[in-house]
Amino acid sequence: MTPTVPRFEELLAPAHWRTVDFISDLHLQAAEPATVAAWRHYLHTTTADALFILGDLFEVWVGDDALIEPDSFEAEGCAPLRAVAQRMPVYFMHGNRDFLAGPAFLARCGITGLADPTVLVFGNQRLVLSHGDLLCLDDMDYQRFRVEARSSAWQQRFLAQSLAQRRQQARGIRQESEARKQSGASYADVDGPAAIAWLQAAQASTLIHGHTHRPADHHLSPDLQRVVLSDWDAAAHPPRAEVLRMTTAGLERIAIAPK
């Protein structure tokens, strides 16, 4: 696919911010209690001035009406977010698994939605924030689905189904994804020229994203870099639960001990 440069929203960090945390791809679900526990521990202990969640916080989000279902995992997942949002601003960007999280989710958690991509201005730095899926241009089947699934017509049809039907479909999608993962099939990575085009258009030096589950620092040119967030799986060996922390001194990866 041909690289395209989207419109960039811009967020100016307040002058008092000294520490900002970035996370993505926690894929929270009831079947992964160790990761949920690590997530809750992180929220309880972080001393950051702001938190940016760059997509796929939940393994799947089938609609905001899941919040009113008695004892739902979605409602339980919002409780710790709401608590931390009372201490510091929390920003949420949609991923490819939770793109249906809507206004009721944001209001329930007390957090702010973030456009993909967004340029964060932090001191004298300009950073492009994205979930990352938009830049995986070689995955043409997914890119076509992404356009369709983000349309109001598709979402209206999907949300018109019962919550039980939507949950069943989500289970099927997860099973297909897991089967593909177990088969060893390769996934498209972020397109390098497209990432450079984004950074140059945004007049930024660093792109921070998730989605690929390939945490690494990529130097795209002497002045441009791409920093990939880690996914979370606290039950893995070794466990994966990592925060990317930004201070005036730079970026640092912080491992979160599973609880």
pLDDT digits (tens, 9 = 90+) for 125-144: 999 999 999 999 999 999 99
- Mean pLDDT confidence for 173-193: 78
Q: How many CB atoms lie within 10 A of CB 127?
A: 25
Nearest in space to 53 (alpha carbons), one of 19, 77, 34, 25:
25
The domain segmentation of the chain, as residue ranges, is 9-255
Q: Is the pLDDT of residue 186 over 90?
A: no
**How does strand 112-114 pair with strand 118-122?**
unpaired
What's the pLDDT score for residue 204? 97
- Mean pLDDT confidence for 102-119: 97
Task: Give φ, ψ of 204 to 5 degrees.
Answer: -120, 160
pLDDT digits (tens, 9 = 90+) for 34-73: 999 999 999 999 999 999 999 999 999 999 999 999 899 9
- Mean pLDDT confidence for 109-130: 97
Cα R_g (the chain), whole angstroms:
18
Q: What's the pLDDT band for 153 if we cut at 50, 70, 90? A: very high
pLDDT digits (tens, 9 = 90+) for 69-97: 989 999 999 999 999 999 999 999 999 99
Number of alpha carbons in the 13 Å side-chain half-sphere of residue 136: 24
What's the pLDDT score for residue 243? 98
9-255 CATH, one of 3.60.21.10, 3.30.465.10, 3.40.50.10680, 3.40.350.10: 3.60.21.10
